[in-house]
Amino acid sequence: MHGHDLGLSAAENYRAFAQETRGRSPAYESLATAVAEDPVILHFLDSLPPQKRQPNLLFAAARYLLGRPAGIGALRELVGHNRDELAAVMRLRRTQTNEPARCATLLPALAQLPPPLALVEVGASAGLTLLFDRYSYDYGGHLIAGPDPRAPTLRCEPRGPVPLPVRVPDISWRAGLDLNPLDVTSDDDVRWLECLVWPGEGDREQRLAAAIAVARHDPPVVHRGDLLIDLPALAEQAPAGATLVVYHSAVLAYLAPADRLRFADTLRMLPAVWLSNEGPGVVPGLPVPPHQGAPFILARDGRTPMALTDSHGTWLHWLPASQS
């Protein structure tokens, strides 16, 4: 994930984010490029704790206050005249983008496991990435129909020898864990989730709205807690007779390197399959395959890379060795 490297300056992080958004969100590419050159906004960012300087957080907070995505002029105004209000939203809120399409990149790995599955998602945000069996899927024409016609169809381009499932495996139990669970029934939390979507990025806004509408009928359970502390107790609640899967996507980059190691140690003690979908170099000890700039690596048990994946779930490149 670009823009979240605590070892880089704010300007460097905004330049990295501009690269990540290139071709996906022209508005945010040019906004991030402009912020990287703006001494007043950079000075404002430097007044915040390092983990609160991220582009996603600043841009979502500005959108939350303005009611529309900011351009550089509006952002300068906000920093100039509503600095405290902007800082307050950034201090209160977190980058909690919940992208249901990531289910499409995780599903082929889940479908290889013996069902039924008991799922624990750490860093689950609003729980939309717990609801694999509510969505429909379209893998370049390979269709998997979900039970609810109002639910979104997650479109994911398969690349390489993806073991495409014919159906979603049975899920007998599921739970999320998050420092700050978002509530799909809260209008304010939903507004924050909407503000986190990059403007102009295909059908993401519609997909999010459809996923939230479906989730509201039967909200996913996401417990408040820290993945460094509360995971073993939650995993213990999983029913016997199911394959326990602990998974996460776009989460470990928010942890300090020493905490990522602690988390990996905890995972290795649990009787669970561990699926990670994180940026290259983020999962401690995971070999990094040639990734040609791919944002995420889907891996099993912190040891075996399975696929390169798009950070927003639009494509999945399966690595041949992981088929067996």
Ligand X SMILES: C[S@@+](CC[C@H](N)C(=O)[O-])C[C@H]1O[C@@H](n2cnc3c(N)ncnc32)[C@H](O)[C@@H]1O
Q: Which residues bind ligand X (CB under 6 A)?
A: 94-99, 102, 122-125, 129, 177-180, 226-228, 248-251, 254
Q: How far is the CB of 1 from ligand X (least distance, A)?
A: 8
Q: How far is the CB of 39 from ligand X (least distance, A)?
A: 29
- Other beta carbons less than 10 A from residue 277's beta carbon: 27
Q: How far is the CB of 180 from ligand X (least distance, A)?
A: 5
DSSP string, 241-256: TSEEEEEEES-GGGS-
Task: Quote the CA–CA distance of 67 and 15 in Å, as a whole number.
Answer: 25
Return the number of the residue (180 or 206) whose C-beta is nearest ligand X.
180
Task: Check residue 57 and report its DSSP letter.
Answer: H
Return the number of the residue (129 or 266) whose C-beta is nearest ligand X.
129
Return the number of the residue (86 or 177) whose C-beta is nearest ligand X.
177
Task: Quote the CA–CA distance of 313 and 264 in Å, as a whole number.
Answer: 24
| Secondary structure in 3-state letters for 279-307 | CCCCCCCCCCCCCCCCCEEEEECCCEEEE
Q: Are 19 and 3 contacting, i.e. CB atoms less than 8 angstroms apart?
A: no
CA neighbours within 13 Å on the CB side: how many for 172? 14
Task: Quote the CA–CA distance of 297 and 305 in Å, as a whole number.
Answer: 7
**Residue whose CB is nearest to ligand X in the complex, by number:** 123
Both tokens of residue 298?
């889907």
Q: How far is the CB of 192 from ligand X (least distance, A)?
A: 11
Q: How far is the CB of 113 from ligand X (least distance, A)?
A: 19
Return the number of the residue (5 or 77) whose C-beta is nearest ligand X.
5
Return the number of the residue (145 or 256) whose C-beta is nearest ligand X.
256
Return the number of the residue (33 or 125) whose C-beta is nearest ligand X.
125
What is the chain's Cα-based Rg? 19
Q: How far is the CB of 10 from ligand X (least distance, A)?
A: 19
